[in-house]
Structure 1
């Protein structure tokens, strides 16, 4: 596992501003993840990791959750997201991607997928 890399001040400030400007899907999922509400796991939002700012991360389970709007369906976004996911995977993170509509229409299914992934990665976190 790579050692901790200092986070540039500009990236920390940008992440902080993003936490104050959540989208509706981000807020809905955050309400399920915050305060150890999902399996007792500690999630943080808008977390700088490997030069990127991820939507949600649980360091203990090495899970990143990304929410994607329609712009992520475009070719250049898919290439960028693929490279980003590959980098995070190399650093030991499992990246879960959900469409915004999935969060808005089936939050229980999204949470269940997160739980299943965490349980599969770490038997110690089984519900």
Structure 2
């Protein structure tokens, strides 16, 4: 993960430099691209920080071992629910929220309510019913 973290540090620095150059080029008048480039740089640095802190917490991973084999990646990476319909509902609700920004606030509030419902269901899907832990 050290290599991945270093790559994201470099990408973030590049994007910050590009954002500054672009800002001077447009004379700080274009307010869609400038914040977007700065946000991309910040997000790259957030990913780099996460990878670095994860590397410190868990140590050398299979990707960083020069003598590692493909089989070292085998195993369970988490708990997944392939039968779950909650993510689909949340995606549709988020689409309704974005549509509400263009159409009207009443659509936005309907989508926000649905988003809260589906997010709650997805978070607590393993707490009730057949698959409760």
TM-score (normalizing by structure 2): 0.25
Report the TM-score, using the length of structure 1 for normalisation. 0.26
- Tell me which protein shows more helix as a share of its residues: 2
Bigger RCO (CA 8 Å, 6+ sep): 1
